[in-house]
Amino acid sequence: MIPQDWFVKIKEEVVAVFPDLEPVIFVKCDEITGGVEDYRAFMHVFHVPNAICHTPRAQELSDANIEGILWHEFGHIIAGEDGDECDADTTILEEFGIELSYDDKNLQYVLAHGIMPDDDSDSAILDDIEEFDEDEDSNGSMGNDVSEG
C-alpha cells in the first residue's frame, strides 16, 4: 500500500478511539525532502497544525515501516507536544495494543502477519540523501529523529 492508504486505514482506527483527531490530515512537506540530519526523516508532526507531514520518499519504504512510522506519529499527536519518542510508542501500545519495533536502520515497524520490513527497501534512499547543512533551518527535518519526534 502507498503511505496515503496506510494513513487512511490507521486514522480510521485512531478516530474510533480519539474522535477529536478527525481533522488530522496527511500532507507533503518540502522541508523534509531538503537536507536532513539523518535518513530517518520521512514524517513528522507539530509542524503543520492537525497534520502528519511526509516526504514522497516514504513510499519507498516497506509497508511494515510505513505502518510503524504512521502509528508512531499518531502516538506523538495523542501524547502531545511534550511527549517524547518513548511516550509516542507507549501510547500506541496502551491505547491500541500495537507494539512498535525498530529495524536495523532504527525505523519503526509493525510486525503483522509475519511480514518483516524489507532490509533493502530504503537502500536507494540512503544513496540519495544530502548531507545535513548546519547553516540550514532544520525546523522541518525532525521527522522521526529520536531526539525531537
Where are the chain's structural domains? 3-131
The one-letter code for the residue type at 19 is P
Statement: residue 1 has pLDDT above 60? yes
- Enter the C-alpha cell of residue 47: 509542524
Dist. CA 98–CA 117, nearest whole Å: 16
Q: Where are the beta strands (DSSP E) in 14-122?
A: 25-28, 43-45, 51-54, 101-102, 108-109
CATH class assigned to 3-131: alpha beta
Pairing state of beta strands 25-28 and 108-109? unpaired
- For 24-66, the pLDDT digits (tens) are 999 998 777 544 445 567 999 998 999 999 988 888 888 999 9
List all residues 6 or more positions away from 127 whose beta carbon is below 8 Å from its beta carbon.
Answer: none
Instruction: Give this prediction's pTM.
Output: 0.73
Q: Which residue has the higher pLDDT, 37 or 123?
A: 37
Cα diameter, the chain: 44
Average pLDDT estimate for 7-17: 96
Dist. CA 64–CA 77, nearest whole Å: 20
- For 54-98, the pLDDT digits (tens) are 988 888 888 999 999 999 999 999 999 999 999 999 999 999 999
